[in-house]
Amino acid sequence: MLKILLTTAALIPTALLIKPKFLFTALSTYSMMITLLMLKWFAQPLNHKPYMTNTLMMLDNITTPLTIMSAWTLPLMIMASQHHLANEPINRKRMFLATCATLQTTLIMTFTTPDLMMFYIMFETTLIPTLILITRWGNQTERLNAGTYFLFYTLAGSLPLLIAILLMNTNNYHTTMLLFMMQNKLPQNNMIMWLACMMAFMVKMPLYGLHLWLPKAHVEAPIAGSMILAAVLLKLGGYGIIRMTPLMPTMAQTTYFPFIVLSLWGMIMTSLICLRQADLKSIIAYSSVSHMGLVIAATLIETPWSMAGAMTLMIAHGLTSSLLFCLANTNYERTHTRTLLLTRGLLFVLPLMTTWWLIASLMNLALPPTINLLGELMIITSLFNWSMTSIILTGTTTLITATYSLYIFTTTQRSATTINKTLTPTHTREHLLMVLHLIPLALLITHPMLMF
């Protein structure tokens, strides 16, 4: 595990020192090689959980898929940003790639650490590179406002978590997750303790009502920032909830009710907001909030099926959402606008991109036999088993999700065209980018057990 971590960290000096002409090709190749090396983590020789540990890091069924997905996203971010950085001076390019590599290193440490204090430190450290990406390389002046929202929502939510971890350390003289599971010494039915631990992750997911930072951050971030936000940073919340709930005292069911109801109601509300948005990136950002509502509900009811469904949906949504942002970016680079009314009828201009748009939209609405459908079905089934009335909310959301996914597709591709200028044709790099998003989604269908 350390060799993966150290080679990822070595990408930072590589980005700063390598010859300019090899900058993008070398870094994307190195990062992809590191990711392919990580694939062997899927092999579990013994039935131990966690199945690989050292004093600083551990791997288990929850950590491995999320770590590999975050590593898979890094080369894709580098490929997607080439046009965005084309006119930048070389030092700015180096700084951008070093920031992405730093973010990747901190993410690996966040997911693999077995210690709660280290987890908190790394969880907060991921904020810094993301904030730099949003505020330094965003396009509009509102990026500073978006960065402020992003920073203060996350910081305010995670301060109670720090106090809770320090309290655990005071009472138990350690903050190791595995020992907490064995001891189970936390005070019973302490609702404030539970809320303090969960709030940071609810804001990060984000739960409806605490979600206002996300659309702002997505809309203002450059393409690499949007990709890593959608693919990995939202999943830190889900990962944190899955990790922390076994350590918490067994709470009364009624404690979970408001959060599950709020997440299910938030799914409907954000799906309806998607139908009203004029900005393409904003629609995709709100759809992320909607999908994460399902994951929050699943992680809170804590059944084996719901946990497996949450893991599956997190991976599926990460890749699908990242793919949608890449497609929105290819449109933006050519038309210089994200407004839906101004980017219509692209089927006639970029016909091959329409194929990727169709596949991405169908994956977003969870068409069979995609991995998205498997995740949603597992969660909806476990929610139905938990409470039959939840089917009304989840069923309605599924219907609206299908509506706005097809609305995005038909508006951008099939409407009467409004483009009256010559657009540059699509590049091989862009098609490769789409294919690299779809390969893991297609392969995971053949063996979904890898994710749970």
> Tens of pLDDT along 165-222?
999 899 888 899 888 877 765 555 578 888 899 999 999 999 999 999 999 999 999 9
Contacts of 163 (CB under 8 A, 6+ apart): 196
pLDDT reading at 102 higher than 80: yes
Q: Is residue 356 part of a domain?
A: yes
Per-residue model confidence (pLDDT) at position 193: 86
Per-residue model confidence (pLDDT) at position 421: 76
Please state, as a whole number, how many other Cβ atoms lie within 10 Å of the Cβ of residue 365: 23
pLDDT reading at 56 higher than 70: yes
Q: Identify the band that residue 265 occupies on the pLDDT scale cut at 50, 70 and 90.
A: very high
Q: Identify the band that residue 44 occupies on the pLDDT scale cut at 50, 70 and 90.
A: confident
Characterise 345 by phi-psi region: left (phi > 0), alpha (psi -120 to 50), beta (else): left
Mean pLDDT value across residues 340-365: 92
Lowest mean pLDDT segment, chosen from 108-122, 190-204, 368-382: 190-204
Per-residue model confidence (pLDDT) at position 5: 94
- Output the CA–CA distances (angstroms, integers) from residue 166 to 122, 187, 191, in the order listed: 16, 14, 17
Q: Is residue 16 part of a domain?
A: no
Distance between CA atoms of residues 448 and 378, nearest Å: 12
Distance between CA atoms of residues 277 and 355, nearest Å: 23
Q: Is residue 301 part of a domain?
A: yes
Q: Is residue 241 part of a domain?
A: no
Mean pLDDT value across residues 301-330: 96
Per-residue model confidence (pLDDT) at position 232: 95
The number of domains in the chain is: 1
Give residue 376's domain range.
264-452
Distance between CA atoms of residues 132 and 126, nearest Å: 10
Mean pLDDT value across residues 365-379: 95
Q: Is residue 382 part of a domain?
A: yes
Name residue 412's amino acid: T
Q: Identify the band that residue 133 occupies on the pLDDT scale cut at 50, 70 and 90.
A: very high
Distance between CA atoms of residues 98 and 52, nearest Å: 29
Query: What integer best gives the mean pLDDT of the chain?
Result: 92
Secondary structure of the chain in HEC code, one letter for each residue: CHHHHHHHHHHHHHHHHCCHHHHHHHHHHHHHHHHHHHHHHHCCCCCCCCCEECCCCEECCCHHHHHHHHHHHHHHHHHHCCCCCCCCCHHHHHHHHHHHHHHHHHHHHHHHCCEHHHHHHHHHHCHHHHHHHHHHHCCCCCHHHHHHHHHHHHHHHHHHHHHHHHHHHHHHCCCEHHHHHHHCCCCCCCHHHHHHHHHHHHHHCCCCCCCCHHHHHHHHCCHHHHHHHHHHHCHHHHHHHHHHHHHCCCCCHHHHHHHHHHHHHHHHHHHHHHHHCCEHHHHHHHHHHHHHHHHHHHHHHCCHHHHHHHHHHHHHHHHHHHHHHHHHHHHHHHHCCCEHHHCCCHHHCCHHHHHHHHHHHHHHCCCCCCHHHHHHHHHHHHHHHHCCCHHHHHHHHHHHHHHHHHHHHHHHHHCCCCCCCCCCCCCHHHHHHHHHHHHHHHHHHHCHHHHC
Per-residue model confidence (pLDDT) at position 320: 97
Per-residue model confidence (pLDDT) at position 186: 57
Dihedral, 312, 315, 321, 322 alpha carbons, nearest 10: -160
pLDDT in tens, 430-449: 999 999 999 999 999 999 98
Residue whose structure tokens are 């079905």: 377
Q: Is residue 317 part of a domain?
A: yes
Mean pLDDT value across residues 38-44: 90
115 φ/ψ angles, rounded to the nearest 5 degrees: -105, 130
Q: Is residue 73 part of a domain?
A: no
Contacts of 219 (CB under 8 A, 6+ apart): 142, 146, 279, 281, 282, 285, 338
Q: Is residue 217 part of a domain?
A: no
